[in-house]
Copies of this chain bind each other. A is one copy, B any other.
Amino acid sequence: MNGLMQQQQLLISNLLVHAERHHGEQQIVSRRVEGDIHRYTYRELAQRSRRAANAIKALGVKFGDRVGTLAWNGYRHMELYYGVSGSGSVLHTLNPRLHPDQVVWIADHAEDQVLFFDLSFLPLIEAVASRVKTIRHFVALTDRAHMPASTKVPNLLCYEELLADASPKFDWPEFDENTASSLCYTSGTTGNPKGALYSHRSTLLHTYAAALPDALDCSARDVILPVVPMFHVNAWGLPYVGCMVGAKLVYPGPALDGKSLYELFESEGVTVSAGVPTVWQGLLGHVEANDLKFSTMRRTIIGGSACPPAMMTAFQQQHDVQVLHAWGMTEMSPLGTVCTLKPRHAAMKTDERMAVQAKQGRAVFGVDMKIVDADGNELPMDGKASGELMVRGPWVIASYFKGDGGDPIVEDGQGRGWFPTGDVSTIDGDGYMQITDRAKDVIKSGGEWIGSIDLENIAMAHPAVAMAACIAARHPKWDERPLLVVVKKPGAELGRDEMLGFFDGKIAKWWTPDDVVFVDAIPLGATGKMQKNKLREQFADYQLPTA
């Protein structure tokens, strides 16, 4: 027997309609590629998104067709989030930090019909325009005055002209909530990128969960600045959360340096932000070098990679900005866990509480998680046992786009399919998950596992270290032993023995790296993560002094 409730589909356009009706006067502020600050309301967002929907239709885009974007965080990009998905087409956000070959591969694989791009990426577009197979129209996200005087891109269209020509009237269609809404490819450090194809349903459920008090905690009284890019996993869902709760949104555009970000934080009264640790390093550096204060910011959500403890301390103790660790994946829309505290943590001493905050956090409701051993048996939630982290839930993928990337799902014998994250982690009795390593980065020494992330965090706490990576080096007796790769801060002095001595008393003796190499730079991927696979190639033949 079914309940007798209304069958209203969960659609992305509902978010926009709600925002227009209930938060019409709320502001969206964007730093533009053109250099200036743009300011409008949710009411104007809704109207221009309807124009965008008409414009896309006029370009021949059909229900289910993919529409690509190569753009920073800004209001025009947000209009496409709603205009494309709301009208039943699929928003495909491409990552501009990828190599042109990868951009071509991904656009072809997605069969993008139209590509909207910010002017910053004109050189990239010029490099790929003649190579992509399915894109029929290229649209520059700017007005006529800022269009390039000449370009190699054929028939380049101007976004503001398309919008001006389009009607502001558009009835958002109603359709099945399982319809595809958006597409994002993994950064693909090994093999070809794989596409995660989100649905309207998965996006709306994710939005509800993301806004909860124990997740990102967003209300109409918040001013949210997403540093995390809209070109990668939908800026953790914040452009959707904004409409759901009616928060003021502040988009930083291309200016992600510490000074530009700090100015926006202060001038717009930002209360909440979200991003990867590397961005915060720049912001904190600027704030500290100029003896500045955050006057309205009260918390920042840090994900992508683990937040170095020193950064957490700086935010919380020197700036009174609460740091929330979060963890997710492209395959998870992306939110999996957020490290909000339980009441008993309030009574803890600072260092005890910091140890909890160093974890990736508790599952938001909707995501199930467990850790398993090599045979797939579930391991205890005791904060000690570590195994591969498996997840399931309505905003976790069931398969990759077109099936390319293999079948990712592992059945548990009880009819439930789990997505293996590739992360190795613990889960404690309170449900707090802590990633100890990527499955492929863990160092297998004499049959025991050494987590590379712990070693990196310790190294990064040394005042002379700018960046550190720990990788497995071959060892005749132990199979693998840790090798620490370090980038020193400019002008800093640091030797091998001092670095290794810094680990004394901080970890089990046998976890101490066997050697240290100093390098000028560690290769970073398109989402700012260290590419340890490249380091492993580079040091494949490294001769450890202990070997």
- Chain A positions near chain B (C-beta within 8 angstroms): 1-8, 10, 14-15, 17-18, 21-26, 64, 90, 171, 174, 176, 178-181, 196-202, 205, 208-209, 211-214, 217-221, 244-246, 248, 333, 340-343, 346, 362-363, 365, 368, 381, 392-401, 414-415, 417, 419, 429-431
Given A1-B90, A5-B398, A365 contacting B201 (CB threshold 8 A):
no
In the assembled complex, the CB of A377 is this many whole angstroms from the nearest CB of chain B, namely 17
Q: Is the CB of B213 within 8 A of A219?
A: yes
Q: Is the CB of B340 within 8 A of A199?
A: no
Residues of B within 8 A of A23 (CB): 431
Q: Is the CB of A1 within 8 A of B365?
A: no
Known: A3-B201, A22-B430, A211-B213. 18 other contacts (CB 8 A): A1-B180, A2-B178, A2-B180, A3-B181, A3-B197, A4-B199, A4-B399, A5-B198, A6-B392, A6-B393, A6-B396, A18-B365, A22-B431, A26-B342, A174-B415, A205-B208, A208-B209, A220-B362
With CB as the reference atom, state the residue of chain B lying closest to A394: B8
Q: Is the CB of B430 within 8 A of A342?
A: no
Contact of A343 among B64, B212, B221, B401 (CB under 8 A): B221
Given A2-B179, A4-B401, A365 contacting B15 (CB threshold 8 A):
yes
Residues of B within 8 A of A430 (CB): 22, 25
Query: What's the Cα separation between A349 and B184 when bound, in Å?
Result: 48
Query: What's the Cα separation between A200 and B1 when bound, in Å?
Result: 11
With CB as the reference atom, state the residue of chain B lying closest to A432: B22
Q: 19 A-B Cβ contacts within 8 A?
A: A1-B64, A3-B198, A4-B180, A5-B178, A5-B197, A5-B198, A5-B201, A5-B396, A6-B396, A21-B368, A24-B429, A211-B212, A212-B212, A212-B245, A213-B219, A219-B340, A220-B341, A220-B342, A220-B343
Residues of B within 8 A of A333 (CB): 5
Q: Is the CB of A363 within 8 A of B197?
A: no
Q: Is the CB of A392 within 8 A of B5?
A: no
Query: What's the Cα separation between A212 and B221 when bound, in Å?
Result: 13
With CB as the reference atom, state the residue of chain B lying closest to A409: B6
Q: Is the CB of B415 within 8 A of A4?
A: no
Q: Is the CB of B5 within 8 A of A199?
A: yes
With CB as the reference atom, state the residue of chain B lying closest to A367: B18
Q: Is the CB of B393 within 8 A of A8?
A: yes
With CB as the reference atom, state the residue of chain B lying closest to A9: B394
Contact of A394 among B10, B176, B401 (CB under 8 A): B10
